Amino acid sequence: MNTITAAITAVGGYVPDFVLSNKVLETMVDTNDEWITTRTGIKERRILKDADKGTSYLAIKAAQDLIAKANIDPLEIDMVIMATATPDMMVAATGVHVATEIGATNAFAYDLQAACSSFLYGMSTAAAYVQSGRYKKVLLIGADKMSSIVDYTDRSTCIIFGDGAGAVLFEPNYEGLGLQDEYLRSDGVGRDFLKIPAGGSLIPASEETIKNRQHNIMQDGKTVFKYAVTNMADASELILQRNNLTKEDVNWLVPHQANRRIIDATAGRLDLEEDKVLVNIERYGNTTSGTLPLVLADFENKFKKGDNVIFAAFGGGFTWGSIYLKWAYDKK
């Protein structure tokens, strides 16, 4: 077979040491462990406490974990795609800094931002570069320091998000493994329901925007939940139908880890057994761009060569979709 497909050949992950548990949150805002667990499935989340470290630190650590485990030379990496909603700063792309810091000095790099769908969209982008035949090793990193944009007096958002990063390496495959199909969508109706109002070109930073906490993430939880449940499930079901896959054909569902009820609804639509649904939300919360690759890093031992893996995500904007991928290796 001479057709090039793009396969994931290595994964890495990183989460900070500090654990922000539900019990600790009870001392910060009017909430409790039972309420959080029942509505989100989250027990704790990791927080990068160092004031002088940003999203790039998480990304570098995840990339270094991948490089060490896969024993690859960073100089062989052709490009780095940085999926993130919390770049270190405006203008200077975080991915460029990360590529330099990990020694991928022969690569070109840039950032990709589609909120919680950033990594899913990044998979499509990375695979397209590989399938073009022009690039052999594309490093895709999903990382977010969500604690940098969360208002810890807002109990509707501070219970959800955590910090973390994951990375995957895409390489050419000639056995028909790797990315098989994708269904990616977006709808601008979501612009007002999940956002950071200020800090961009529309509402530049000012004393007033800071005073009004307009640089923190804000969401209409009920609306976001409704759209997420419907669209993640619809996209995943369509991917199965389009590829003539039954629930028995699916080995693993890798869903965005935003809310346990959304995950369960997606799995329910596909009629998947619980043991096929990979979940780590209880330990990390929603790490936004980091959720999908962190699931891969945590459960890498479960994947076998040839496994059918369904990815699904939903994010602000709104952005959402599903990807069907055949796993390409057995972990040594």
Contact criterion met (CB below 8 Å) for 288 and 219:
no
**Catalytic one among 256, 259, 280, 308?**
256
* Interatomic CA distance for residues 265 and 223, integer angstroms: 16
* Interatomic CA distance for residues 265 and 29, integer angstroms: 29
Return the structure tokens found at 172: 């050419």
**Catalytic one among 116, 231, 259, 280?**
116
Query: Which DSSP category does 189 fall into?
Result: G
Return the structure tokens found at 30: 């009017």
**Residue 116 annotated in active site:** yes
**Residue 215 annotated in active site:** no
Question: Cα–Cα distances in Å, from 324 out to 35, 71, 123, 128, 182?
Answer: 34, 27, 11, 14, 6
**Residue 286 annotated in active site:** yes
* Interatomic CA distance for residues 141 and 293, integer angstroms: 8
Contact criterion met (CB below 8 Å) for 235 and 185:
yes
Helix (H) or strand (E) holding 114: none
**Catalytic one among 173, 231, 286, 308?**
286
Instruction: Give the pairing of strands 319-326 and 79-83.
Output: unpaired
Cα–chain-centroid distance for residue 317? 15
Residues designated catalytic: 116, 256, 286
